[in-house]
Structure 1
Amino acid sequence: MRAGVHGFGALILVGAVAGCASTFGGGGVCTEIGVPVGVSLDVAPSDAAGARSAEVEVCWDGRCRGSEVELSESTESVDEGCEDGACTARSVPTGGRHGFAFVDALPTDPVEVGVVLLGDGGTELFTGTTTVTPQMLEANGPGCAEGGPQAGVVVEDGTLRER
C-alpha cells in the first residue's frame, strides 16, 4: 500500500510539472488580477495643503459620470541601505495626496476630466478641467488579456494636467 501512495504522489508531481512546462512554454502565466477602471488623481505637495477629498467628473459622448474620492497621504520609499545581505527601506510621507475615481464603461477615446479639491467642511480649494486619453492596461503583462482602461491626472502648481 505504501508504494502505491508514493507512486500516486509521483504521478501528481509529474502532471504538475508537465502542466507548468506547457504554461511557461507559452510565454508565461496569466493570473486573475483585475484592473480597476477609472481615473487616478495625484495632488502634488504644493497643492495638497488642506485637501481631504475630491469630486471627479469624467465626460465623453455628451454624458458625464461623477465620483467622490477620498484622498490618502502619498508616500515614497527611502532606501536605508544594506547590512549583512539584508536591505531595508521605509515609507515616508511626501506631503502629497492621492485617490482613485472608479468610472464604469470608461472608453479609450479622449475624455474630459474635471476635478474639485475639497477641504474640511467641503470648502473648495481647487477647480480644474483637462482632457486625457485612457489607456488599456495589461495587469498580468504582455500576452495576457487586457484588464481595462485607466487614465491619470495630477494637480500641480495650481493646474490640472494628464499624468
Structure 2
Amino acid sequence: MKQALHGCTPRGALARASAALTALLLLTGCGAGEHICTLRDSPTGISVDVPPKWADRAAEAELVACWDGRCHGGGLRLQKELREAAPSSEPPAPWPGFAVVEGLPEDGRTKVRVELVLRDEGGATVLDERTTLVPKPTYPNGRDCSPGGWQGAVTVTKSGKLTSR
C-alpha cells in the first residue's frame, strides 16, 4: 500500500479542517470567553402594568404617546393569559401589556407624555390618566452588544394614578 501524499488521508484532512477553523475563529474574534452578539432584538414601545382592580373592569385599553408635537399609539392589549399563567400571589399580580410605539426618541433625554385610557364593555371610561417618561435602550444581548428597541414603562397604582417606572 502506498503512503498518501501531502496528508491526504482522512485523518490529515480532519486535522487541516480543524486548524483552518481555529484560525478563522481567532481572526474573527470568536473564542472562549468572548461575548457573542446574536440577532435577537426587542420591540420599541411602552410596557404597562394594570392592577386587577382596574384591569378586571376594562374591555378596551388605549395608549397614546406624544413628543415633539406628534402623537403615536392606539390599541393596547392587556395580556390576561400571562397573568393567569403566573403563580398566584397576594396581592394579585398586575395585568401586563405592551404597546408598540414606533419612533420613540433615542436620545435618553426627550420626555414622552403617555396617556392611558381604559373603557368598559359599554365604552364608558374607567380610567384616563397621564404621566411622562424618558425612553431607555434595552439590551437583549447584554450591554456588550448594540441596544435593541427603546422602551418606557408605566404602572397604574391601586388608587388609579399612572406613574412611570
| TM-score, length-scaled by structure 1 | 0.76
Amino acid at match of 2:83: T
Please identify which structure carries the higher strand content: 1
Render the CA deviation track for 1:120-156: whole Å, top value 9, x for unaligned. 2433211100000100111111221111210000111
Amino acid at match of 2:38: T
Aligned partners of 1:146, 1:55: CA distance in 2, in Å?
Answer: 27
What is the aligned partner in structure 2 of residue 86 from structure 1?
Answer: none
What is the aligned partner in structure 2 of residue 92 from structure 1?
Answer: 87
Q: CA RMSD in A?
A: 2.7
Partner-residue secondary structure (3-state), 1:131: strand
What is the aligned partner in structure 2 of residue 137 from structure 1?
Answer: 138
User: Given that residues 113 and 131 in structure 1 are in contact (C-alpha distance below 8 angstroms), is that contact kept between their aligned partners in structure 2?
Assistant: yes
User: Given that residues 60 and 111 in structure 1 are in contact (C-alpha distance below 8 angstroms), is that contact kept between their aligned partners in structure 2?
Assistant: yes
| Identity %, equivalent residues | 34
What is the aligned partner in structure 1 of residue 75 from structure 2?
Answer: 68
What is the aligned partner in structure 1 of residue 162 from structure 2?
Answer: 160
Q: Which runs of 5+ in 1 are unaligned?
A: 77-89
User: Given that residues 65 and 103 in structure 1 are in contact (C-alpha distance below 8 angstroms), is that contact kept between their aligned partners in structure 2?
Assistant: yes
- Counterpart mapping for 1:8-47 below 5 A: 8-17=13-22, 19=24, 22-24=29-31, 27-47=34-54
Aligned partners of 1:112, 1:24: CA distance in 2, in Å?
Answer: 45
Amino acid at match of 1:72: Q
Q: Which runs of 5+ in 2 are unaligned?
A: none
Shift of 1:102: 0.8
Change (3 A) 1:5 1:110: farther
What is the aligned partner in structure 2 of residue 87 from structure 1?
Answer: none
What is the aligned partner in structure 1 of residue 103 from structure 2?
Answer: 105
User: Given that residues 78 and 95 in structure 2 are in contact (C-alpha distance below 8 angstroms), is that contact kept between their aligned partners in structure 1?
Assistant: yes
- 22-31 vs 131-140, greater mean Cα deviation: 22-31
What is the aligned partner in structure 2 of residue 58 from structure 1?
Answer: 65
Partner-residue secondary structure (3-state), 1:30: coil
Partner-residue secondary structure (3-state), 2:162: strand
Change (3 A) 1:15 1:101: farther
Q: Name which one, 1 or 2, has greater alpha-carbon Rg.
A: 2
Render the CA deviation track for 1:101-123: whole Å, top value 9, x for unaligned. 11111003210000001332433
Shift of 1:69: 1.0
User: Given that residues 73 and 100 in structure 2 are in contact (C-alpha distance below 8 angstroms), is that contact kept between their aligned partners in structure 1?
Assistant: no
Count of matched residue pairs: 149
